[in-house]
Amino acid sequence: MRETLLIMMKLLLIAFAGALGTLARYGLGGLVQRSTNSVFPYGTLVVNLLGAFLAGLAWILFENKFKFSSEYRAIVLVGFMGGFTTFSTFMLETGRMVQDAEWLRAGGNLLFQNSLGMVALFIGIILGRLIS
């Protein structure tokens, strides 16, 4: 019974963190998109780059400096970061560009999101190693 209660509590905390991540994504993505006044999805790009950076940073800090349990890692990485990053939105936006034959914009979106996302991830990892 106690183990079931602990599992349920962990799932509720992951869900709550996911809701916070979703709200953060919605707020930041919308703010960036409105401020650029562009048809290119800069809001999604910024959220994905920041998400990749924070995921890399948290990963290394959780492993090397803070030694958080797997439960806490799941709350942050699966819950918050899962709600915050916008890969499905990225795919939908790119798919719309392809459907509308906006080949250059779709290609740019794929190139920027993926290559800069990897760069952001590794910058986060390097920073995490420097801190820890």
Q: What is the pLDDT of residues 35-44, one digit of tens each?
A: 999 999 999 9
**Domain that includes residue 71, residue range:** 2-131
- Whether 121 has a pLDDT exceeding 90, the answer reads yes
Number of structural domains, the chain?
1
pLDDT at 132: 87
pTM exceeding the 0.75 threshold for the entire prediction: yes
pLDDT at 34: 97
Cα distance between residue 82 and residue 80, in whole Å? 5
pLDDT at 65: 85
DSSP 91-110: HHHHHHHHHTT-HHHHHHHH
- Mean pLDDT throughout 67-94? 87
- Mean pLDDT throughout 50-73? 87
